[in-house]
Structure 1
Amino acid sequence: TRYSSNPCFVLVSHAVAGTVAFVSQIPFQVMEAEGFKDQGNAFYVKKDYSEAFNYYTKAIDACPKNASYYGNRAATLMMLCRFREALVDSQRAVRLDDCFMKGHLREGKCHLSLGNAMAASRCFQKVLELEPSNSQAQQEVVLEYERMAELDFEKRDFRKVVYSMDKALGLASTCHRFKILKAECLALLGRYLEAQSVASDILRMDSTNGDALYVRGLCLYYEDCIDKAVQFFVQALRMAPDHEKSRLACRNAKALKAKKEEGNKVFKNSNFEAAYRLYSEALAIDPNNIKTNAKLYCNRGTVGAKLNKPDQAIEDCTSAIKLDDTYIKAYLRRAQCYMDIEQYEEAVRDYEKVYQTEKTKEHKHLLKTAQLELKKSKRKDYYKVLGVGKNATEDEIKKAYRKRALMHHPDRHSAATPEVQKEEEKKFKEMGEAFTVLSDPKKKTRYDCGHDLEEDSNNMGGQHLQVPGHFWGEWP
């Protein structure tokens, strides 16, 4: 009965009667293989892994269908740090016997040693399917999730850390260390309510837990409640004076508040260069503080606008929006900058976003104004045609018209090529249109307000194409 489960012995039951020599040979091979295995075990106990390997190999040669022999040799190869060979033997073992738990365990450990964490996890999960209470597999799985979490934390891949800790807590539900790491990463992901819930659960059981106090403070700090956050960091340091994360967070929180307040103060005093420098210094303190940094970027954008650096201001407002896409003030500031540099389509887009979020009369007015400026920007710019600014006086408009009319009058280009004559005539007509509108106060007002002037032009019978006065006579 010793060999009833041995694959080498099963062949005996199928032997044909009368083949005594063959039948007697099979049990001998089994016995020989078992003897080699026993000798291998003895050398393994003595830590003579090379000899153990040799005898386990002899056992396999004698009986190559026995899963445990491959499992034993895999264990020996692992002790010899020959993990790739050990992995091959472990995989052979579980292919022969899918319920061979030691084989799955060893395969998992080999995968770990070779850096294949996901494959290792699958092996350990297989063991737990076969035997849910297998403590060794549970421990290996938990340790692997912990190791993965540490690596992902270093990479700042906090979502993966939360995933690993959830898996680990499924097997070690009371582990405060795992809960704290999960809560910290939830805070770093901006999931403050979830993080506070985990930390509060721990504090209900242990009100002196410095890690949990730190996480509570971290959530408040990232929600821009800096004074309250500092209180939790200080309390955490009282409970655990060596809590380095609380010390660093407390220092950052105080520095951030001080720099921001100093920047606000000099801004109110119109010292914009100093304000820009202080906001920049504040932004360098903690890149993880999304909400506070969004405000700092927006503040710096306001300073940039005051310094007449619209592109820089737009860039800062965009940075604020990337950190907090619900930050209305940043959209409004950026939209105004776009208006200042006549990028009306971008301004309209920002004002539309604002109005969709907060449908106030003020926001509606800003949107309508931007839409009007966009409409005006797409028609012919009569001010540019005459080369004057939008605030030009009547005299400046007349002088500009006279100068350009002399330059582009068809009579002046009578000897030019047909192409040049056509182009100069076109410019001359445009100047006539521009002067007709801008020299008439009512038409100019309607033009400046963005009203449709095409209809008026069509009803003028082409008069706006004429040169006011007589070209070679009196000038306006």
Structure 2
Amino acid sequence: MSPKNASYYGNRAATLMMLCRYREALEDSQQAVRLDNSFMKGHLREGKCHLSLGNAKAASRCFNRVLELEPDNGQVKQELNNSEAILQYERTAEIGFDKRDFRMVVYWMDRALECAPACHRFKIIKAECLALLGRYPEAQSVASDILRMDSTNADALYVRGLCLYYEDCIDKAVQFFVHSLRMAPDHDKARLACRNAKALKAKKEEGNKSFKEGNFEAAYELYSEALTIDPNNIKTNAKLYCNRATVGSKLKKLKQAIEDCTKAIKLDETYIKAYLRRAQCYMDTEQYEEAVRDYEKVYQTEKTKEHKQLLKIAQLELKKSKRKDYYKVLGVDKNATEDEIKKAYRKRALLHHPDRHSGASPEVQKEEEKKFKEVGEAFSVLSDAKKKSRYDGGQDLDDDGMNMGADFDANNIFKTFFGAPGGFSFEASGPGNFFFQFG
């Protein structure tokens, strides 16, 4: 009815601002000041709209125009302070982003959004940093809110894709990156992320294929190459490290496999598969305390029968490892035959018999006597089927009346084994050579 009345546009702008429809309010405010450049409220509302939308420089121009019209306007001075504060927040956040201090960026974007609640740009920066921090649900929530208002927002589409990409949903992530590029063909971040996602998927699949075919060396190299593609993709890289650890264990690179599992766990502390793989590697390298620790972690997280059994086995091996290793004392394998055990005892008993070292220093005599006793203990256990079974099962031999304590007499074992009727001696037959002689 009166399309040239600046106040009407100004009033409608004020109403739209109350409804948080700042873009529409901005258009009405700008129309108002076009009709009347001396309309102070029009300039003030335009400045507030610019500020809410995150355009602090444009807001400052509007607020300075208000001061030209009303130099004593206290309200606009505060708005100018808010504009300057937003500019400072942006500068600080940019420094933080360059330093990859994403927590700092989130903090300053939150401060900026207190003054500019409708700024999509600030929300996108915050969402991207949340994604880079691994806070995917929060990042997706922010991006989804923007997409509900603007389904063609290329930045929000990119962030949604980034979250999916970092959650190892690569196919879905690529779809969002492609959509983002349709909306904004020059979106460099979306293009780079799309390229990385495709390359990562292809290299990982190549590695999996080589592994299934039994080509472990090739699989190891392919997983290594995949790990260089994108250091920011924590979840996928954790899986790649674990995959490489699996290949490493097949190649008997157990130390490297443990290191890869540790790297996977550092990236994802909830990655059960990596704990299980590392625990098995610890078992294979007889690091039983470490294996028990990992299996305990797994069982605390997932109380399954299988995990309980693995923990029990590791605990048993740890208990066994703290006893004397009688197989090691005799120098035989755990699968040694009865004859192999006898031959090993014969050799070690003669080597460490006290009479053979009667001319040595007291320290050497004491050490050899100790070894002679251990050899006797080892033979006593491993040559007896019942004792050997209990020993291999991790049971305590002393608890079954099989006393292996300080009063154990290794000479009795020696005499019984060699069948000596009386005394015996070691006599020199040449420099450094001895022969055993029965009395």
Q: Per the shorter chain, which TM-score range?
A: 0.7 to 0.9
Name the structure 2 match of 1:178.
122
Using the alignment, how far apart are the partners of 1:132 and 1:226 within structure 2?
49
Paired letter, 2:108: S
The aligned residue for residue 101 of structure 1 is: none
CA displacement, residues 190-218 of structure 1 (integer Å, 9 cap, x when unaligned): 11111111111111111111001000100
Q: Displacement, 1:473?
A: 4.5
Aligned with residue 272 of structure 1, among 216, 223, 234: 216
Q: Which of 144, 151, 158 does residue 214 from structure 1 map onto?
A: 158
CA displacement, residues 320-370 of structure 1 (integer Å, 9 cap, x when unaligned): 000100000000000000001100000000000000000001000000000
**Pick from 397, 410, 418: which aligns with 1:471?**
418
Q: Displacement of 1:131 after TM fit?
A: 5.3
Deviations 1:93-145 (A, max 9, x none): xxxxxxxxxxxxxxxxxxxxxxxxxxxxxxxxxxxxx8586232111100000
TM-superposed CA distance for 1:271, in Å, is: 0.7
Q: CA offset at residue 437 of structure 1?
A: 0.5
> How many Å apart are 1:175 and its aligned residue?
1.1
Q: Distance in 2 between matches of 1:338 and 1:459?
A: 30
SS at match of 2:402: helix
**Equivalents in 2 of 1:459, 1:373: separation in Å?**
20
1:362 paired residue number: 306
Gap change, CA 1:426 and 1:172, over 3 Å in 2: same
Hey, what does 1:457 align to over in structure 2?
Answer: 402
Query: Contact 2:341–2:382 at 8 Å: present in 1 too?
Result: yes
The number of aligned residues is: 346
Partner of 1:140: 84
Q: CA deviation at 1:471?
A: 3.4
Q: Distance in 2 between matches of 1:186 and 1:133?
A: 34
CA distance in structure 1 between the partners assigned to 2:274 and 2:404 by the alignment = 46
CA contact (8 A) 1:429 1:466 kept: no
User: Given residue 208 of structure 2, which amino acid in structure 1 is its aligned partner?
Assistant: N
Could you tell me which residue of structure 2 aligns to residue 427 of structure 1? 371
Shift of 1:306: 0.7
Are 1:338 and 1:347, in contact at CA under 8 Å, matched by a contact in 2?
yes
> 1:140, 1:253 → 2: CA distance?
39
2:286 partner letter: E
SS in 2 for 1:466: helix
CA contact (8 A) 1:236 1:243 kept: yes
Counterpart-to-counterpart distance in 1, 2:392 and 2:337: 14
Residue 315 of structure 1: aligned partner: 259
Hey, what's the Cα distance between the residues in 2 that align with 1:462 and 1:185? 69
* C-alpha separation in 2, matches of 1:231 and 1:242: 17
Distance (Å, rounded) in 2 between the aligned partners of 1:413 and 1:285: 64
Q: Which runs of 5+ in 1 are unaligned?
A: 1-129
Return closer, same or farther for 1:406/1:195 CA change in 2, 3 Å cut-off: same
User: Structure 1 residue 281 and structure 2 residue 225: aligned?
Assistant: yes
Shift of 1:384: 1.2
Letter in 2 for 1:382: Y
Q: Which has the higher contact order (CA 8 A, sep 6+)?
A: 2
Q: Distance in 2 between matches of 1:318 and 1:147?
A: 38
The answer (yes or no) to whether the contact 1:210–1:240 under 8 Å persists in 2 is yes
The alpha carbon displacement at 1:406 in A equals 1.1
Q: What secondary structure sits across from 1:364 in the alignment?
A: helix
1:41-440 correspondence runs (5 A): 134-440=78-384
Contact 1:221 1:289 in 2 (8 A): yes
How far, CA to CA, are the matches of 2:107 and 2:288 in structure 1? 45
For the Cα contact (< 8 Å) 1:291–1:323, is it kept in 2? yes
Q: What is the distance in 2 between the residues matched to 1:438 and 1:374? A: 20
Against the structure 1 CA distance between its residues 227 and 418, is the aligned structure 2 distance closer, same or farther, given a 3 Å change threshold?
same
Call closer, same or farther: CA 1:348–1:323 in 2, change over 3 Å: same
Task: Report the Cα offset of residue 170 of structure 1.
Answer: 0.7
Separation in structure 2 between the aligned mates of residue 465 and residue 364 of structure 1, nearest angstrom? 44
> In structure 2, how many angstroms separate the alpha carbons of the residues matched to 1:459 and 1:251?
68
User: Structure 2 length normalisation: TM-score?
Assistant: 0.76
Q: Does the residue aligned with 1:426 lie in a helix, a strand or coil?
A: helix
Name the counterpart of 1:442.
386
- Code of the aligned partner of 2:200: L
In 2, the alpha carbon distance for the partners of 1:213 and 1:470 equals: 82
1:227 counterpart letter in structure 2: D
Tell me how far apart the structure 2 counterparts of residues 339 and 214 of structure 1 sit (CA, whole Å). 44
Preserved CA contact (<8 Å) 1:433 1:465? no
- The Cα of 1:156 is off from its aligned counterpart by 0.5
Deviation at 1:467, TM superposition (A): 2.2
Q: Percent identity?
A: 78
Q: Distance in 2 between matches of 1:190 and 1:445?
A: 52
2: CA distance, partners of 1:164 / 1:263: 42
CA distance in 2, matches of 1:295, 1:459: 49
Which one has a bigger Cα radius of gyration? 1
> Separation in 1 of the partners of 2:220 and 2:417?
57
